[in-house]
Amino acid sequence: MPKLGGLGVAVLGSGMAVPGKVVTNQDLEKMVDTSDQWIVERTGIRTRFVAEEGVLTSDISEEASRMALERAGISPEDLDLILVGTNSPDTLFPSVAAKLQGRLGAVKAGAADVQSGCTGSLYALAMGASFVASGVFKYILVVGAEVLSRLVDWNDRNTCVLFGDGAGAVVLGPARDEGLSGRVLGFSLKADGAKHDLITLMGGLVEHPASHETVDQGLHWVKMKGNDVFKFVNREIPPFLDGFLGEMGFAPGDVSSWVFHQANWRIMEGVLRRLGVPEERAVVNLDKYGNTSCASIMMALHEAIVSGRIRKGDKVVISSFGAGMTYGAMLMEF
């Protein structure tokens, strides 16, 4: 059963950060063979934020984390664990989470990165919620952060129009009655590794160690079979979400807000239509930030909370999908 047992767990505070450089569709028109109309019609994206030279994933992770900790009223010294979902860490090792632990002064916290495609931050949320529910840890910082602009081929119009940089963070802890906190009711995590070749970054590690040849072949850039990803999501995600909610004892119509991975509006619209859910129930910030991968659900959740979009008593589904292929969902009640 996907229901979370044990102690009550909730999102106690949230935060987000984006770098300072904005890249518009009009800017991309000058770089590759594309147009604002083409990008908007096919993705819904109008702008995205790109990290300036020298800005790292750990930098924007720290900014989002400090906001989340402040809003939760939790000191870094009180944290027991830091989990960072990312596909664009500063380095493979040390982890972003370990660097973040040191910067925050979270002296008693463990730290680990979670890499599971764009679903990485949802996997990290589920892991964190399980730790708190078990009573092993009390306060956990979960971050989704990306500087994917460094891993995108800006001459490839199929990918460079999609991605942006950013970070979102939440503090998980024991559920409390005061204020607006999102109690985790349950979650489900899935994967279909037979589709591992749909979204890839092949160069630089064990299978294709870095060499002149891997650079020349473009193996150090994100590659995506866009049509196949679109078909996979529209085939797999609607029945998965319907089944997940059914196991939790709810129907899609019971959900007030849907916080989807902000990958493509046409994908979100297709999933909503198949579930019979009105479009206005989707939390959408894709137009401003583009696809920020692991950061997207965290940033969308934060904006929905601070804007008042999510209110006391609302049931909220967070759902994502990504390279692997991985996917999952979490149900919260605020």
Q: How far apart are the first and last CA of the chain?
A: 21
Buried b (16+ CB within 10 A) or exposed e, 116-125: bbbbbbbbbb
Contacts of 185 (CB under 8 A, 6+ apart): 3, 4, 248, 315, 331, 332, 333
Rg (CA), the chain: 19
Q: Is 261 a catalytic residue?
A: yes
The question of whether 291 is a catalytic residue gets the answer yes
Of 25, 87, 261, 264, the catalytic one is 261
Report the C-alpha gap between 19 and 165 in whole angstroms: 7
d(CA 237, CA 215): 35
How far, in Å, CA of 15 to CA of 5, rounded? 27
H/E segment holding residue 14: strand 9-17
Q: Which residue in the block uniquely carries the two structure tokens 């994502």?
A: 320
Distance CA 271, CA 239 (A): 9
> Which of the residues 25, 87, 285, 291 is marked catalytic?
291
Which residue from 298, 297, 7 is spatially nearest to 176, judged by alpha carbons?
7
Catalytic annotation present for 264:
no
| Catalytic annotation, pick one of 118, 160, 285, 294 | 118
Residue 12: enclosing H or E segment and its boundaries? strand 9-17
Question: For residues 115 and 89, what is the distance between their CA atoms, to the nearest angstrom?
Answer: 9
Residues with catalytic annotation?
A: 118, 261, 291
